[in-house]
Structure 1
Amino acid sequence: MSNLIGALIVERTGGPEVLQWQQIELPELGDNEVQIRQEAVGVDFIDTQLRSGLLALPKLPSGLGFAAAGVIEKVGKSVTGLTEGDKVVYHFLTPGAYAEKRNVPAERVFKLPDQSLDSITAAGALFRGLTAWYLATRLKDIKSGDWVLVHAAAGGVGLILCQWLSHLGANVIGTCVGQEKVQILKEYGCAHPVDIEKADFLEVTKKLTDGKGVSVVFESIGKETFEKSLDCAQRFGLIVSFGWASGDVAPIDLAYLRNKGSLFITRPTISHYVAEAADFQRGASELFALIKSGALRIRVDHQYPLKEAGTAHEDLASGKTSGSVILIV
């Protein structure tokens, strides 16, 4: 019996056109794996960087994508706690989610506590929600009343992060481009949205914080905003450089950080914070508990058929999207 499935494969890096639809052989299910019939796949900015060659894929040819939602079709003989028919999400550190089906280690699979949650919302939540989870809870103890600055706040990660930080009691300043995204931020509870085409986010930040600055800057734009982001931080503030959509930042002199107020800086990646299965399970549990409680709302404005992933990449890279971007299988 054939185990052929449809998947998008990258044989060489480059533009969206390098994504090629192919029939590939699904390997035999391992004892500690489950086979998932995928229904929705999350598209994240790192996918565009891997496809383009800005970040290195482990090998070529390669699949793309790390997270998806679907239904378990088969269960390996050593797997416990998961059964056929369960609605699940997964985050697997090997790219390959842009496919109709996938075999995934059971420890990287999370059974949805709300089995009625639709797969589009679940897939839209997972990768970006796990990123928001570690940013909000693993880097610094965010206390009620703390001021924080979130760049690209209306994006997929930013929108979830703003809600999570607000849930923790922080005062959130969120940057975006355009009045439409300002309205989205207001709708999702960002108390202080800033359209950076019309206002200087540094001036706004200093005014709101009485000149003190914020305790954390979540910096995902990079080259265009990084210098001002340093000036937004208060003494002993933390700069979290987790994205570089406008280009990477120049090397930082340690004395410069001292002179700016003994600042701390980190360049984190989700792969380290969910490298252990227990951390992944913990993050997913906290994420979906907040979704179930209503503290987090997942916005999915952009849905594309799986075979049109190239168009999704173009729209995401050009800043046309807000909230999460999903491929429908």
Structure 2
Amino acid sequence: MNQVIVVRAAGGPEVLEFGQVPTAEPGPSQVRVRQTAIGVNFSDTLRRAGVLPAPMPFVPGTEGVGVVVAVGAEVTDIAPGDRVAYRSASGTYAQECLVQADHAIAVPDDIDDRQVAAILSKGLSAWCLLFKARPIAAGDTLLYHGATGGVGHIACRWARSLGARVIGTVGSAGKMAVARANGCDEVIDYSEEDFVARVLELTAGQGVDVVYDGVGRKTFLQSLDCLRPLGSMVSFGFSSGPTPPVDASLLMAKGSLFLTGLSSSHYLMTREALLAGADALFDAFRSGRITAAIDRSYPLKDAAAAHRAIAAREVMGSVVLIP
């Protein structure tokens, strides 16, 4: 039997039920993995709550790392005993899970499983932000909302290593020191300060080259006023709620701005892109340009506690479940 977390109806963290289901065999193009660490993402909480669609009942989770224990008949390049990680899987809040073989990524021997679970999905999102959606160049000034989150911890450090000036925002004074440690040159507490005025002050009225916004409704429209003419904004999340609609004429009036919405899955649709991103991520980690900030870890059975911590915005970094 396989130990899992099951959601039978949308709701709060209390709907995350710990139980057992029969162990499934891999399909022709799948591998079965005995997991050693599972990454927890904000999107997991949205599916649990019914904000993002999910079939009921379902096992949450989209990423993890572990050891292959069985492979499908058509899988030729992965064998039992291989250590792999994956994102865009399904049902990873489990002791064992099935993964499409072309989603599996070989894990370097010198990175431990909890570190991989902490950085893989969030780090690939950061790679898509900084190298694909709006590539960062040395000398750029950027504004990053949510600088203490799992993606922010990686993206801010990585951007600074590329020669960018990083201005980060946080939602409380207690997070400012963490944001500075994450690589931010300046930090703004937007719960106490007008972040638009402060950004313009910090940039001598010029504005920033790019805004990366994973907060959504609370910061979205004001962020457009932080951009220089011809500046770019990448919206990639909505932790404070959905973003409002934007008329193209507003972008014209504010400086012929560029606006894009990012879902990392669109940048990682091919195996070649997935492996390129993973290689860049692991290289940045091994070189010390980024780190794995594991804020806390929980046994699999305590997944509800992990979701409560995320909902309360207590987390500064990554959360990992241990089967």
Deviating 4+ runs (over 6 angstroms)? none
The equivalent position to 1:89 in structure 2, one of 64, 85, 89, is 85
For residues 310 and 275 of structure 1, the distance between their equivalents in structure 2, rounded to whole angstroms, comes to 31
* Structure 1 unaligned blocks of 5 or more: none
Question: Which residue of structure 1 lines up, in the alignment, with residue 71 of structure 2?
Answer: 75
Deviation at 1:275, TM superposition (A): 2.3
**Structure 2: which amino acid aligns with 1:30?**
G
CA RMSD for the aligned pairs? 1.5
2:115 maps to 1:112: no
2:21 maps to 1:27: no
For residues 228 and 102 of structure 1, the distance between their equivalents in structure 2, rounded to whole angstroms, comes to 42
For residues 210 and 266 of structure 2, the distance between their equivalents in structure 1, rounded to whole angstroms, comes to 20
* Structure 2 unaligned blocks of 5 or more: none
Could you give the per-residue CA deviations for residues 187-225 of structure 1, whole angstroms, max 9, x where no partner exists? 232211222233322122112212111111111112211
Deviation at 1:33, TM superposition (A): 2.3
For residues 54 and 158 of structure 1, the distance between their equivalents in structure 2, rounded to whole angstroms, comes to 23
The equivalent position to 1:292 in structure 2, one of 274, 278, 286, is 286
**Structure 2: which amino acid aligns with 1:298?**
A
Question: Which residue of structure 2 lines up, in the alignment, with residue 234 of structure 1?
Answer: 228
Residues 30, 76 of structure 1: 8 Å contact kept: yes
2:257 maps to 1:247: no
Question: Which residue of structure 2 lines up, in the alignment, with residue 217 of structure 1?
Answer: 211
For residues 140 and 218 of structure 1, the distance between their equivalents in structure 2, rounded to whole angstroms, comes to 9
Q: Which shows bigger deviation, 84-93 or 250-259?
A: 84-93
Deviation at 1:85, TM superposition (A): 2.6
Question: Which residue of structure 2 lines up, in the alignment, with residue 100 of structure 1?
Answer: 95
2:40 maps to 1:43: yes
Residues 144, 156 of structure 2: 8 Å contact kept: yes
Deviation at 1:96, TM superposition (A): 0.6
For residues 222 and 16 of structure 1, the distance between their equivalents in structure 2, rounded to whole angstroms, comes to 22
For residues 82 and 292 of structure 1, the distance between their equivalents in structure 2, rounded to whole angstroms, comes to 24
Query: What TM-score do the two structures reach when normalised by structure 2?
Result: 0.95
Q: Which shows bigger deviation, 309-318 or 122-131?
A: 309-318
For residues 23 and 142 of structure 1, the distance between their equivalents in structure 2, rounded to whole angstroms, comes to 46
The percent identity for this pair of structures is 39
For residues 171 and 201 of structure 2, the distance between their equivalents in structure 1, rounded to whole angstroms, comes to 20
2:265 maps to 1:268: no
Question: Which residue of structure 1 lines up, in the alignment, with residue 152 of structure 2?
Answer: 158
For residues 308 and 196 of structure 1, the distance between their equivalents in structure 2, rounded to whole angstroms, comes to 32
For residues 295 and 135 of structure 2, the distance between their equivalents in structure 1, rounded to whole angstroms, comes to 31
The equivalent position to 1:60 in structure 2, one of 56, 59, 65, is 56
Residues 91, 108 of structure 1: 8 Å contact kept: yes
Map 1:193-208 to 2 at 5 A: 193-208=187-202
Q: Secondary structure at the match of 1:138?
A: helix
Question: Which residue of structure 1 lines up, in the alignment, with residue 317 of structure 2?
Answer: 323
Query: What TM-score do the two structures reach when normalised by structure 1?
Result: 0.93
For residues 128 and 50 of structure 2, the distance between their equivalents in structure 1, rounded to whole angstroms, comes to 26
For residues 259 and 188 of structure 1, the distance between their equivalents in structure 2, rounded to whole angstroms, comes to 34
For residues 166 and 40 of structure 2, the distance between their equivalents in structure 1, rounded to whole angstroms, comes to 25
For residues 241 and 76 of structure 1, the distance between their equivalents in structure 2, rounded to whole angstroms, comes to 38
Residues 148, 182 of structure 2: 8 Å contact kept: no
The equivalent position to 1:133 in structure 2, one of 127, 138, 142, is 127
Question: Would the alpha carbon gap of residues 29 and 249 (structure 1) be closer, same or farther in structure 2, given more than 3 Å must change?
Answer: closer
Residues 82, 111 of structure 1: 8 Å contact kept: no
2:11 maps to 1:14: yes
The equivalent position to 1:190 in structure 2, one of 184, 192, 197, is 184
Deviation at 1:77, TM superposition (A): 4.5
Q: Secondary structure at the match of 1:286?
A: helix
Deviation at 1:41, TM superposition (A): 0.7
Q: Which shows bigger deviation, 74-83 or 46-55?
A: 74-83
**Structure 1: which amino acid aligns with 2:132?**
R
Deviation at 1:254, TM superposition (A): 1.3
For residues 129 and 157 of structure 1, the distance between their equivalents in structure 2, rounded to whole angstroms, comes to 6
For residues 223 and 77 of structure 1, the distance between their equivalents in structure 2, rounded to whole angstroms, comes to 47
For residues 140 and 243 of structure 1, the distance between their equivalents in structure 2, rounded to whole angstroms, comes to 16
For residues 73 and 244 of structure 2, the distance between their equivalents in structure 1, rounded to whole angstroms, comes to 51
